Chains A and B, each alone.
Chain A
């Protein structure tokens, strides 16, 4: 197997005095699609931010291509690593196309302008999230789901090998949830990208991801291939609520039990 893109060595993450995870060792390779699962406040976002290098691990070390993350300049890193934040707003207005083109900045040299190629890439990214028709709309007129798709288009236009996404399907309808997750998984498999996403919907994780990190409330973690991790016992403990695994024609489905 090729060298990992991101490696975590005994990482500990804390918020105030709460330990979110400790002694976490992970190797994330290109071609993999990871889900980070956990209940509210379990540390999914914090872990993603640490992987993106915008937050230092409280102990341990995270390497990108065998070099500590924090030693890379933001500019270099931005050509290889993109992060979709949990919420995104556009307080100063502007048009959809202008925002997607921001995703091209990491690839532009100083004092140069976006070329036809950049515009083409941005249009492609908009097409993937079904927003091409809205390229000239002002962002303030977009609905919540459309804003989320715009934010996703922006990081797709960034064309990085690593995609970190914090709840990418927030506000999305069923069709767009599946369309976008399908596209993300396809780009992991076909273009050897690494996709890591925090998800709340276990079923979506089960269907689209091949690996998972489970972050438990007590600060312990489990990681590995998703098939072996997502069983009723682990998930019931993860969410503090009993769940069951059902076999359906659409594949395995995880449902909460009726009465706890």
Chain B
């Protein structure tokens, strides 16, 4: 009788495969689109070792680094989003909305103003992110009830506080000292040089996540249930705080404050049936990366005269999704 009722198992592995193909298409689009379009013949020439043609130079020096940093930044943010959503047990948690990227930006800006060596800037970003996550977690959990409203309110207030400090720093700082204002408030890939180190760190964190994916599934049930199902809850939560901060800090160092990736991507993936973190985590990296590369390609080619910061595009897509999600979320808790 049980067998007759056995429901067909869904196929998350196949979904993952489709996502990889889509991400590759996004990468291709990101490489090809721009003021100087790159065609198939240009790729062929480049792959055959040509580095004299203008198309090859553009690929080598501009497009590849930009696509690389776009992909890693998107992957970092989407992964950070998933980790924060488990940590705070809330699908609305996201590094930008909750002011985590803001905290990282502020610390980097302060260090830059003080003339601290660039080597220490990632450390600054990291500590800014940690401080923000811990603040949000403690304040939102605080005493008493733990509601999405309280979490969001805490995060949003923190984010606007950081925003104000960023504006303050940028208005009093000597212009040449810092990169443009939009970069820190909206996020832009224009200044990013692309770094394989970041890609490696992202891959490392993803591996760590693979090791803990089952623990994350349990943690989503709540810390009490997770503990009695065998998770060392406190340790895992602190590790999550560390990992989410690291990911956010790296993303901020690469591209400033890009919002909503950590919200759009995990949410869409869950709608596709990827609830299990063993699939969701790699899927988030792949799709987040692909999405940001595509968004950046759109931002570069939407207007011929100006290149928009990619944060504008992600916010334009992200805000409506966020609002729908918030509405549905409050309908469930009511």
B282 to chain A, nearest CB (A): 14
**Residues in A whose Cβ lies below 8 Å from that of B270:** 92-94
Asked if A75 is at the interface (CB within 8 A of a chain B CB), the reply is: yes
Residue of B nearest to A139 (CB): B275
**Residues in A whose Cβ lies below 8 Å from that of B2:** 120, 123-124, 127, 132
B141 to chain A, nearest CB (A): 14
Interface string of A69-106 (1 = CB under 8 A from B): 00001110111011101001111111101110011011
- A102 close to B217 (CB less than 8 A): yes
Interface string of B1-16 (1 = CB under 8 A from A): 0100111000000000
- B221 close to A54 (CB less than 8 A): no
**Residues in B whose Cβ lies below 8 Å from that of A85:** 222, 224-225
Residue of A nearest to B86 (CB): A92
Contact of B218 among A105, A111, A124, A135 (CB under 8 A): A105
- B228 close to A81 (CB less than 8 A): yes
Interface string of B179-214 (1 = CB under 8 A from A): 000000000000000000000000000000001001
B94 to chain A, nearest CB (A): 14
Within the assembled complex, what's the spacing in Å between the Cα atoms of A127 and B221?
A: 22
Interface centre among A79, A92, A105, A106, by most B CB within 10 Å? A92
Asked if B91 is at the interface (CB within 8 A of a chain A CB), the reply is: yes
Binds A, one of B54-62, B229-237, B299-307: B229-237
Count how many chain B residues have C-beta atoms less than 8 Å from C-beta atoms of the other chain. Answer: 29
- A89 close to B225 (CB less than 8 A): no
Asked if B332 is at the interface (CB within 8 A of a chain A CB), the reply is: yes
- B227 close to A102 (CB less than 8 A): no
- B225 close to A91 (CB less than 8 A): no
Asked if B137 is at the interface (CB within 8 A of a chain A CB), the reply is: no
Residue of A nearest to B220 (CB): A92
Residue of A nearest to B217 (CB): A102
Asked if A52 is at the interface (CB within 8 A of a chain B CB), the reply is: yes
Asked if A108 is at the interface (CB within 8 A of a chain B CB), the reply is: yes
- B228 close to A52 (CB less than 8 A): yes
- B90 close to A91 (CB less than 8 A): yes
- B91 close to A91 (CB less than 8 A): yes
Asked if A110 is at the interface (CB within 8 A of a chain B CB), the reply is: yes
Contact of B228 among A82, A108, A110 (CB under 8 A): A82
Within the assembled complex, what's the spacing in Å between the Cα atoms of A79 and B230?
A: 8
A50 to chain B, nearest CB (A): 12
**Residues in A whose Cβ lies below 8 Å from that of B154:** none
B81 to chain A, nearest CB (A): 12
Residue of A nearest to B89 (CB): A91
Asked if B85 is at the interface (CB within 8 A of a chain A CB), the reply is: yes
- B218 close to A102 (CB less than 8 A): yes
**Residues in B whose Cβ lies below 8 Å from that of A97:** 7
- B7 close to A136 (CB less than 8 A): yes
**Residues in B whose Cβ lies below 8 Å from that of A94:** 270, 275
Within the assembled complex, what's the spacing in Å between the Cα atoms of A103 and B221?
A: 11
B321 to chain A, nearest CB (A): 15
Interface string of B228-268 (1 = CB under 8 A from A): 11111100000000000000000000000000000000000
Asked if B276 is at the interface (CB within 8 A of a chain A CB), the reply is: yes
**Residues in B whose Cβ lies below 8 Å from that of A91:** 89-91, 220
Residue of B nearest to A108 (CB): B214
Asked if A249 is at the interface (CB within 8 A of a chain B CB), the reply is: no
**Residues in A whose Cβ lies below 8 Å from that of B222:** 85, 88-89
Contact of B6 among A103, A110, A123, A124 (CB under 8 A): A123
Within the assembled complex, what's the spacing in Å between the Cα atoms of A94 and B86?
A: 13
Contact of B332 among A49, A95, A140 (CB under 8 A): A140
Known pairs A74-B228, A74-B230 / 9 extra A-B pairs, C-beta < 8 Å: A77-B230, A88-B221, A89-B222, A102-B221, A106-B229, A120-B2, A123-B5, A123-B6, A132-B5
Task: Give residues in B with beta carbon < 8 Å to A.
Answer: 2, 5-7, 85-86, 89-91, 211, 214, 217-218, 220-222, 224-225, 227-233, 270, 275-276, 332
**What are 18 contact pairs spanning A and B, CB under 8 A?**
A49-B224, A73-B232, A77-B230, A78-B230, A88-B222, A90-B220, A91-B91, A92-B85, A93-B91, A102-B218, A102-B229, A103-B229, A105-B214, A105-B217, A108-B214, A127-B2, A132-B5, A133-B5
Q: Which 6 pairs show the lowest CB-CB distances between chains A and B?
A: A78-B230, A94-B275, A83-B228, A75-B230, A136-B7, A106-B230
